[in-house]
């Protein structure tokens, strides 16, 4: 049987809280390149606290919502036995952590584990239809 541990912290402290930004639809880069490194958009808030997102030529209005079911962001770690990379609990392990044999039958076989990198309890959700920003408004002559 495969057993994969999800460790709840890297150093014994509670995981950080991040924010979720949810958009309807997919995101494509204009130049069809990978997304990493690219600008996504500008996020602002009105005085009343309404989140506004400007993406390319569009404005989206959204709202802040508390998640009914929070999320955990898990990061995968593959390590060989005796490998000290990846998540590590503090040395005096929480006594509640079940002592599970992580080893597979083959010594040196890679074992997978996950770490909770962050918890997400709130999100900004942008559901309204993007309003295009018209850049070229011909002036009436």
Partner 1 sequence: MRTLEEVQATLQIAKLQDEELQKTIHCLSFGDNVSSADYCLLELDDTLCKLIETGESLVIRGDADEHAVLCTKDRTYDLKIADTSNMLMFVPDCRTPDQLTNSQENSHIVHTQIWGFSNSYWELRKQRPKLKKLKKVLMENPYEGPALGGKEEDTENRYTMEDLLESIQASEEELKTSLEAVHACRIDGYWRMLDFDYEMKLLGHLTQLVDSESWAFNRVPLQTCLEELAPLEPKQMIEHCLNCYGKRYSENDDVLYALDEDRVCRGMALMLLQNAVKFNLREFQEVWQQSVPEGMSTRLDQLKSVALVDRSSRPETINLLRVEDLSEDTLERFNQLFTLREKWTEDDITPYIKDLCGEKQSTGALLTKHARSSMQNGIKVFNSRRPVAT
The encoded tokens of residue 83 equal: 């490998």
Q: What is the nearest approach in angstroms of partner 1 to the Cβ of residue 109?
A: 15
Q: What is the nearest approach in angstroms of partner 1 to the Cβ of residue 39?
A: 5
8 A C-beta contact, residue 121 and residue 66: yes
128 binds partner 1 (CB under 8 A): no
8 A C-beta contact, residue 65 and residue 122: yes
8 A C-beta contact, residue 89 and residue 12: yes
Q: Which of 30, 31, 32, 39 binds partner 1 (CB under 8 A)?
A: 39
Q: Taking CB under 8 A as the criterion, which residues in 48-67 touch partner 1?
A: 49, 51-52, 54, 59, 64
Count CB-CB contacts under 10 A for residue 115: 21
Q: Taking CB under 8 A as the criterion, which residues in 65-104 touch partner 1?
A: 69-77, 89, 94, 96-101
């Amino acid at each position: 049987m495969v057993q994969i541990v999800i460790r709840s912290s890297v150093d014994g402290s509670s995981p950080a809280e991040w924010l979720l930004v949810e958009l309807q639809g997919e995101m494509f880069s204009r130049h069809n390149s990978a997304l990493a490194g690219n600008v996504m958009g500008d996020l602002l808030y009105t005085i009343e606290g309404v989140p506004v997102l400007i993406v390319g030529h569009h404005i989206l209005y959204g709202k802040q919502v508390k998640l009914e079911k929070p999320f955990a962001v898990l990061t995968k770690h593959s390590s060989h036995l005796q490998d000290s990379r990846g998540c590590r609990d503090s040395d005096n392990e929480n006594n509640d952590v079940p002592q599970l044999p992580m080893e597979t039958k083959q010594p040196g076989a890679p074992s997978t584990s996950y770490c909770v990198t962050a918890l997400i309890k709130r999100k900004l959700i942008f559901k309204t239809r993007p309003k295009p920003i018209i850049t070229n408004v011909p002036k009436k002559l």
